[in-house]
Amino acid sequence: MSLKMIQTDNAPAAVGPYSQAVRAGNLLFCSGQIPLDPATGELKLFDGNVAEQTKLVMSNLEAVLKSEELTFDNVIKTTIFLSDMSNFGNVNEVYASYFGEYKPARACVAVKTLPKNVDVEIEAIAMVK
């Protein structure tokens, strides 16, 4: 099986030694996205508004998917990382707006801290049809 590292200028550049995504056969493993502005690489915390952070996270994830001509309909599994489980409702509402009737498998966990002290990070696995 061949592996292909994915990089798009429409999503934030990796902030460490990893790829935005890796395609392995018919699967695309998308690294966790945080609320970074893809044009500037600057962190956007929106004065602690986790819903706005989530919109940017989902937009960044969407850009990675689009780079391989995929959409959220191709996503088979996501993992949401939260800095505080009290943010679950706001994150869940925004997250759900990116999916129609189709809902991928998902895990959601609260962690002690996230990169750059953000409130939300989301990763995904998608299937290439």
Q: What is the pLDDT of residues 13-71, one digit of tens each?
A: 998 899 999 999 999 999 999 999 999 999 999 999 999 999 999 999 999 999 999 99
Q: DSSP assignment of 59-93, as one string? A: HHHHHHHHHTT--GGGEEEEEEEES-GGGHHHHHH
Give all domains of the chain, ordered by start, each with its CATH number.
Answer: 3-127 (3.30.1330.40)
**Residue 104 phi, psi dihedral angles, 5° rounding:** -75, 165
Q: What is the pLDDT of residues 32-42, one digit of tens each?
A: 999 999 999 99
DSSP 36: B
Confidence bin at 108 (pLDDT 50/70/90): very high
**Coil, helix or strand at residue 103:** coil
List residues with catalytic annotation.
Answer: 108
